[in-house]
Structure 1
Amino acid sequence: MDAHSCLDVASFAQAYGMPGLLEEAEDFVLRNFQEVSTSLKFLDLPADKLLDFLHSDGLCAPSELAVFRAVVVWVEANPAERLAQAQELMTGVRFQFMTFKEFREVRAINLPLKEFGFSLPENLDQCRIRRPKDALVLVGGDQLDPDLGKRLPSRQLWFANSLRTGTGLVKAMDWRILGEIPEKPRFRHGVGVMQGRLYVIGGCEFYTKTDTLKSVYRYDPMQDSWQRLADMQEYRSNFSVVVVEDYSPVSDTWSFAKPLDQALSGHAATLLDGEIFISGGFDCRYQCLTSMFLYHPERGTTYLAEMSQDRAQHCMEVLHHGGGGLCVVGGVCNLRTFYTDQLACEVYDPVSDSWRALTPLAIPHVGAASVVLEGKLYVLGGYCQEDYRETRLVHRYEPITQRWENIGKMPGPNTDIRACLLRLPAHLRQ
């Protein structure tokens, strides 16, 4: 199912009485609304079904302006018949969450505004914030303090219930507790989501070599329950889940994949089109690397163009907008015989096997978490290498404007934390 077929799948499921498939297809539309709105099938969507999508709190879009544009495109496909329906459709656009600049674009459209008849609510209590089912979840983490006795690694899971808490501009993230990791706290661990379940893997529970873990837990948000899985074959911390051992959820067993060409820690890894990309990290002498390569569990390593800047303890995520590519941000870099904060950001184009500069960070994010939500890159927490001061802020990169924006503080311990997107049922998101 993709953006061009999901509406056909939904129509098929509704016609043949398949509620499970219908829910899956409509959820796909809500999660990918902006892309779906550019398809030809979207122009044939019945007005009542479009209105259902517009009124859904689970609709995902970069802004309400994108929702408004989608309605305009739908109306302009057949204005003679659809202008009469525009007024009702515009009740599904939450104009109160637009910026003044966005609202100027609304006022500048070529269609007759009097036909739209939209109006703002009398107060913000009458409006609803969109809360997509895919929530940004933070898992575990550490806090910096020179006194080790006061440092408390975390067992907590937090999630962002809403990304907008004020009119017009993003002011802060609304964080809420989701639960706790069973038994022991964790930092420098790995997290991953597979088939709607969250896996929490390895890491450290404290600060000595014997505190490294190989245990694995799985969280099922539909049941709101945890399950202890088979241990990894090695104790691991400061690693990436897609790189190390291979786990089978069917047999609950781990097996070794082909080893890397060299030992790495503090590197970043992510998937793009089913392929594993690995950037930077420390080598066995704790030198920051500029490397970028493809890794295959059976074929091993294929080296690609190197980054222009060395880095470790950084983030790497896939962005599909604003030119797209694999973005590397934050971390530390080598400076003679010691480390310093890496503020430079780069993006890798796998088609041309080349790098280009991205807008640098304003403040350090070493050992931070990252995730892409609704087409925007979030970098969460970490610390400053220069003075070991915690970075308690969340920064978001907007590919369209190519700018970073500060959207508030972290909810708890914020170094060596991990983040992911996890679909939460409605009763947990309330």
Structure 2
Amino acid sequence: MTKLHVTVEGTAFTTDKELLVKHSEYFRALFQSGMRESSRDEIQLHNLGAVGFLITLRVLDGERPLLSCDEILEAVECAAFLQVEILMKHLVNLIDPDNCLVMYEAAATYGLLDLFHESALYIRDIYELLEKDIQALPKDLIQYVDSLMPSTFVAVGAHTPTIEFLEDPSRTMCFLNEKDNQWVSLGCIPDNASTFLAGVTTLNNKVFIVGGARGANKQVVERSFCYDAENHTWSEFSSPHQLRYEVTLLGHEGYLYAFGGEYERVPVAYVEKYCLSSQIWTFGKELPQAMAGPPATKAMGRVFISLWKPQETTIIYEYDTDKDDVVPISSIKRPQSYGHYMVGHRDNLYIMRNGPCDDFLHCTIENFNLSTQQWTTLSGQYVNSKGALFTAVIRGDTVFTLNRMMTLLYKIDTCSWKPIKEKSGFNKGGTMHTFFLRLPTEIKLMASKLYKNPHQSFT
């Protein structure tokens, strides 16, 4: 390891030269230029803050620090000047209601386009909460936010492939018109698609369905499907090498990850990832144990999986997507209980587990904080009517849960979920899949017109 001494604002830092060259376009150009500076082991950076450079070094060293608004401004400046992609991604993962406007203006000032766009999308999704503060932004920044499509809550029930002429209302995918408090159909999923025990996830404003089963014998479904929300079209794509049902599917940074599942009633530990650009499935490192439907989520730009050893221990693993490795993070023991679902928010993982003595109606939520590495049990128990908590998805600081009777919204913070609003339930039987999509206005308008006049066709 070659040491490099860097002075910023009078503060001296000693770091790994190869690490800077690997992650910073600025240092790569500097040390590969052949100029006199390229052979030095001491350099001085001007017009940068020492705090921002320290944050950069921490992120390059694998840390994921939480930042104040003042620290964000310095980090954005460093990310732009030094062209550090990994720092920019970390800033994107830190966007929240408290800092999104700071992120947005800073990214606009320093030309970080990805951070600019992601901050604007976040602001668009919680527009009502920030409306007064948004008006203080420059006019062009307000116009950009207004031009974006907000996230819409979407649900689809569990159903198996059926013959084409047999009408099955459970095959419809619907979105919640929050203003009118009505569920509106986006039309049926393809005839050969299954959402029963299937892996369902979103990525790049598309819905992906992998695996699934049909019939009481759980015959595996071999075809995979994709819904493109921007043009309202369905298409097929290749299935994983190992066919399976009750597979967990997760989308992350241009890849789909398929974890575990069952094939011919035998649990499997396989992990496969699908590259959207190359359209190829490849095997990754297997899970530590075979499991059907292992809970998985994302937080702080990282992928996490929950496994268990019945009936006491829930174990959290990180799936390191860069190193293709499965790393144990923490575990928790609860008598006759284990985690059934997991959702990430900021630097927290929330694990929903059954109540005492396998009581699946009353669930307890455990919080694992990634920064402090501490577990906290949220106060009280949550009524998990028809698996509502097992479909939890988050927009901003609001949790959306769903059952046949109602859509229940919670305000989320580290130690509590507080019910804040009830909306219409989704009157479909069985398990449900929920997610957010950015639906074009014209598609939502056409679907709403069809809802009011079902004799029209949705085209």
Shorter-chain TM-score bucket reads 0.5 to 0.7
| Contact 1:156/1:177 (8 A) holds in 2 | yes
Change (3 A) 1:428 1:38: closer
- Determine which of 191, 196, 204 is the counterpart of 1:187: 196
Query: Secondary structure, in 3 states, of the residue corresponding to 1:428?
Result: helix
CA deviations 1:153-211 (Å, max 9, x no partner) are 9422111222675xxxxxxxx2111122212342221222222222111122333232x
| Contact 1:314/1:332 (8 A) holds in 2 | no
Deviation of the 1:261 alpha carbon: 0.8
1:317-336 correspondence runs (5 A): 317-320=343-346, 325-329=348-352, 335=358
CA deviations 1:194-230 (Å, max 9, x no partner) are 22222111122333232x2242111111221111101
Equivalence for 1:372? 394
- Determine which of 140, 157, 162 is the counterpart of 2:157: 140
Change (3 A) 1:11 1:274: closer
Q: Which has the higher strand share?
A: 2
Structure 1 position 360 matched with structure 2 position 372 = no
Give the root-mean-square deviation of aligned CA atoms.
Answer: 4.2
2:154 counterpart letter in structure 1: V
In the aligned structure 2, how far is the partner of 1:239 from the partner of 1:164?
35
1:379 counterpart letter in structure 2: T
| Contact 2:406/2:426 (8 A) holds in 1 | no
Equivalence for 1:196? 205
CA deviations 1:112-156 (Å, max 9, x no partner) are xxxxxxxxxxxxxxxxxxxxxxx111133159xxxxxxxx79422
- The TM-score normalised by the length of structure 1 is 0.60
1:338-417 correspondence runs (5 A): 340-358=360-378, 359-366=380-387, 368-381=390-403, 392-399=405-412, 402-404=417-419, 407-417=422-432
In the aligned structure 2, how far is the partner of 1:333 from the partner of 1:190?
29
1:248-267 correspondence runs (5 A): 248-267=275-294
1:42-191 correspondence runs (5 A): 45=136, 48=139, 135-142=152-159, 154-162=170-178, 165=181, 174-184=182-192, 185-191=194-200
In the aligned structure 2, how far is the partner of 1:157 from the partner of 1:350?
34
| Contact 1:361/1:404 (8 A) holds in 2 | no
- Determine which of 271, 281, 293 is the counterpart of 2:317: 293
Equivalence for 2:22? none
| Contact 1:158/1:176 (8 A) holds in 2 | yes
CA deviations 1:319-363 (Å, max 9, x no partner) are 23xxx611123557754xxx6445111111112222211242134
In the aligned structure 2, how far is the partner of 1:377 from the partner of 1:246?
28
In the aligned structure 1, how far is the partner of 2:246 from the partner of 2:118?
35
1:347 counterpart letter in structure 2: N
Query: Secondary structure, in 3 states, of the residue corresponding to 2:443?
Result: helix
In the aligned structure 1, how far is the partner of 2:129 from the partner of 2:421?
30
In the aligned structure 1, how far is the partner of 2:335 from the partner of 2:385?
15
Equivalence for 1:82? none
1:230-249 correspondence runs (5 A): 230-242=238-250, 244-249=271-276
Deviation of the 1:266 alpha carbon: 3.6
Change (3 A) 1:56 1:255: closer
Change (3 A) 1:235 1:155: farther
1:362 counterpart letter in structure 2: V
In the aligned structure 2, how far is the partner of 1:7 from the partner of 1:26?
11
1:194 counterpart letter in structure 2: L
Deviation of the 1:259 alpha carbon: 0.5
- Determine which of 435, 448, 453 is the counterpart of 1:420: 435
Equivalence for 2:62? none
In the aligned structure 1, how far is the partner of 2:348 from the partner of 2:114?
31
| Contact 1:290/1:309 (8 A) holds in 2 | no
Count of residue correspondences: 314
In the aligned structure 1, how far is the partner of 2:335 from the partner of 2:395?
26
- Determine which of 98, 102, 110 is the counterpart of 1:4: 102
Query: Secondary structure, in 3 states, of the residue corresponding to 2:399?
Result: strand
Equivalence for 2:55? none
Change (3 A) 1:419 1:426: same
Deviation of the 1:43 alpha carbon: 9.1
Equivalence for 1:302? 328
In the aligned structure 2, how far is the partner of 1:233 from the partner of 1:153?
32
In the aligned structure 1, how far is the partner of 2:355 from the partner of 2:209?
25
In the aligned structure 2, how far is the partner of 1:394 from the partner of 1:46?
33
CA deviations 1:39-90 (Å, max 9, x no partner) are 9xx7994565587689889678xxxxxxxxxxxxxxxxxxxxxxxxxxxxxx
Deviation of the 1:33 alpha carbon: 5.9
In the aligned structure 2, how far is the partner of 1:37 from the partner of 1:408?
17
| Contact 1:291/1:305 (8 A) holds in 2 | yes
CA deviations 1:266-299 (Å, max 9, x no partner) are 431001123221124686xxx5752222223522
CA deviations 1:16-50 (Å, max 9, x no partner) are xxxxx9999578435326999999xx799456558
Query: Secondary structure, in 3 states, of the residue corresponding to 2:120?
Result: helix
Structure 2's unaligned 5+ residue stretches are 1-98, 161-167, 251-269, 446-459
